[in-house]
Amino acid sequence: MATDKTTASNGAEMKFPGVEAIKELAALGVKATDATVVPIVTKGLGEGLPDIVPAIFDRNAQALRSLKALIEEQRLMPARRTGAAAMQTLSGFYRLVSRHKDEHSAIFVDMNWSAPKFVAVIDYHEQGDGHAARNLAHRIEYAFPMSEPWKAWVGINGKPLGQGMFAEFIEDHIAEISGPTDPERQAYERQFSTRIADPFEVMTLSRGLAVSVDAKVGRAVTLQSGEGEIVFEEVHRDGAGAKLTVPGLFMLSLPVFFRGANVRLPVRLRYRVKDGNLIWIVQLWRPDEFVTAAVERDRDAVAAETGLPVYEGAPEGDNDDEDDLD
């Protein structure tokens, strides 16, 4: 080993390792503890992998560590489009889908009538030869927000209502009651064996009920027409008071979805007398069928507007919380 020389005060010669040798030893020590970038060849191991993956070999820990997090910290823009845009209108949904779609994009529709939903997967798996897998991470959703009038009618559907509450509800929602068309009158009056009322008759009924809210029912009968006839007793004296005719059926015309087209459906009106008081029940006729028909119309419109396939169901990844069957 090379040495440097110096002379002591007594004239004796002293020797110690040279500076260059010290530097060499120090360099070897650093090299022994330094991290080293190691290229890992992944070519041919499967689709979606780069040819080479760089990693750090930590000599102290004797372990490989990923460089991905370090590199991602320096990224100036996202590696790919991810996330789900939530649209409030159907037209907004298909406009945004048309902006981002490519030849492999696909749309799924949940046909559950109580909570229908469109999900467009922009980066859906490729079709055709090869069928390359993609990330399914860029989505556009439209959850069919229900209109306020629809929510109000569904809210009282099949529930018993007191006379005052029922009369107030009808008066607040009279704009959603529609006169029947001739085909509707012929079909539904025959089907339900009762007469369909027009909006004026329903309003007259609600106001008569509001006036008689404190009166007892003297008589309630069903007429040959299928309508009901209710006679109220006067509160302060005997004898017949107000007489009201109750239709067995009326028509609604209202949007099911926010800013959607109107849907027409029949409503059955029933009542019962309990301890001299009236209990009312409004029964929407098969609302699931009318909502499903509206969703199907929108499904066809979206397919036509976007030019993409539309599938009934949910895309992969939406059911990850379900238990595995393996």
Q: Of 172-186, 191-205, 269-283, give the lowest mean pLDDT range.
A: 269-283
Q: What is the 3-state secondary structure (H, E, C) of 107-162?
A: EEEECCCCCCEEEEECCCCCCCCCCCCCCCCEEEEECCCECHHHHHHHHHECCEEE
Q: What is the pLDDT of residue 242?
A: 59
Mapping DSSP to helix (H, G, I), strand (E, B) and coil, where does residue 175 land? helix
pLDDT, tens only, 18-41: 446 545 545 545 455 567 877 878
Instruction: Tell me how far CA of residue 187 lies from CA of 15, 78, 240, 247, 303, in angstroms.
Output: 118, 59, 36, 16, 32
- pLDDT given for residue 227 in this prediction: 52
Span 106-134, average pLDDT: 87
In this structure, are residues 139 and 120 in contact, taking their beta carbons and an 8 Å threshold? yes
* pLDDT on residue 144: 92
Do 139 and 83 contact (CB within 8 A), yes or no? yes
pLDDT category of residue 325 using cuts at 50, 70 and 90: very low
55-82 in b/e form (b: 16+ CB < 10 A) is: beeeeeeeeeeeeeeeeeeeeeeeeeee
The string of pLDDT tens digits covering residues 127-155 is: 766 677 887 889 999 999 999 999 999 99
Is the CATH code 3.30.720 the one for domain 83-146+294-312?
yes
Q: How confident is the model at residue 219 (pLDDT cuts 50, 70, 90)?
A: very low
pTM: 0.66
Please give the pLDDT value at position 206.
77
Question: What was the pLDDT predicted at 318?
Answer: 74
Pick from 135, 131, 111: nearest CA to 122 = 135
Instruction: Tell me what pLDDT residue 324 has.
Output: 41
Where do runs of H (alpha helix) occur along the chain?
19-33, 68-72, 90-100, 148-156, 163-172, 182-192, 199-211, 287-306
Q: In the chain, which residues fall in CATH 3.30.720?
A: 83-146+294-312
